Amino acid sequence: MNRLNLPDNIIRLRHRKKLTQEELADFMGVTKASVSKWEKGISTPDILLLPQLAAYFDVTVDELIGYEAQLSGEQIRRRYGELSRDFAVLPFSKVLEKVRTLAHKYYACYPFLLQLSVLMCNHYMLAGTEMDQKEILEEAICWCSRILENCSDVGVCSDAVVLKAGLQLRLGNSREAIEALEPSADPSRLAGQNGALLVQAYQLAGDMEKARSFAQAKEYLDLLNLTGDAMLALSLNGTDQKHCEEIIRRIKGVMELYKVETLHPNTAAQFYFQTAVFYGENGRDEEGMEALRRFEQCVDRLLGTEKLMLHGDDYFDYLDEWIERLPLGSMAPRDKSFIRQSLRESLKHPAFDRLKEKDEFQKLVFRLTKGGEKGVSYVKD
């Protein structure tokens, strides 16, 4: 908790309203001398006056007295994990109320407010109606805006910009997302070189451990981004089968070389799913089923462990330490049961309409959506 700073805050808020001590004293029903003592820290306002004083300055009592509730990184991870599990098993409205209560309580803890925004982005689709979903997305956008207006942490603000743009896209507000991202996402800008420069700086400073760790984390993220960019390319070039086949060939080679299916099965699963969509949209049923088989293998790796956790491997041997410094650490942003629920909706994609009558496809859908439940066996209708 930060140091209480009531005297300085009264001075700052009074000056912002361009008030004299006497004018503030008249409004509060006290003497000018009382206000002077408040601002010098000689005395404090009666506790019953604090709500009136806060309302007059249009701030909360916490803001007035300088109290900012802060959570540690470990506390943020624990609360996120609890809420993520709650979304999988409790009524959505009950968990939403809990999220909003925590957001209000920790409104000045910007790293936590950012993760609550991430949480809403990952679970808003559970809301009952499109109107409810829109309201939740707009609320998360407001939280991101508050972070950008008040937070001094450059990293948190950068994440808030990207998240806010993603939330705008989910609302269909493409122009707002472009305006937020275009200045910094342009590949020609020097900002794209900051990672390599930081590695060089660590090296020059003689901190080889940090240099190796950061360089490896950058390579790992570049690998995941390359795969993500390939998925976008497949969706943008779906009618150019020759080009898409070359994308698939190259990325499959990269994923095999770096063992992405084991290292990050979620990314691999998304790639194979997009590959299956491409084949399905072009009437290539057998290749589509093969991609879905690979998709299922990745999902099995993802859901087959007791906990969903990011991790390194023999090649990315510095990665685990870097992962632990992430806001959520090695924890996955969604609970396993929620992921299994969302798989059924994914497999309803129109690209798979030709496959829906095939017994193999029906069994695959069952295994992915019901196969993890105890006592449930496949029975064809």
Average pLDDT over residues 255-261: 96
* Cα–Cα distance, 167 to 206 (Å, whole number): 41
Task: Flag the least confident range among 80-84, 133-137, 323-327.
Answer: 323-327
Q: 207-252: per-residue pLDDT in tens? A: 999 999 999 999 999 999 999 999 999 999 988 999 999 999 999 9
**Which pLDDT band holds residue 19 (cuts at 50, 70, 90)?**
very high
In the chain the first and final C-alpha atoms are separated, in Å, by 60
- Is 247 within 8 Å of 233 (Cβ atoms)? yes
Secondary structure class of 286 (helix, strand, coil): helix
**DSSP strand E in 56-178: where?**
none
Amino acid identity for residue 166 in this structure? G
Position 1 pLDDT exceeds 50: no
Q: 149-198: per-residue pLDDT in tens? A: 999 899 999 999 999 999 999 999 999 999 999 887 777 766 667 888 89
Instruction: Report the pLDDT value the prediction gives residue 377, as an integer from 0 to 100.
Output: 47
* Distances in whole angstroms, Cα of residue 314 to Cα of each of 204, 255, 311, 327: 27, 15, 10, 24
- Residues near 278 by beta carbon (within 8 Å), at least 6 away in sequence: 234, 238, 244, 248, 351
Instruction: Report the pLDDT value the prediction gives residue 365, as an integer from 0 to 100.
Output: 92
Which class for 165: exposed (0-12), middle (13-18), buried (19 or more C-beta within 10 A)? Answer: buried
Position 292 pLDDT exceeds 60: yes
Distance, CA of 190 to chain centre: 25
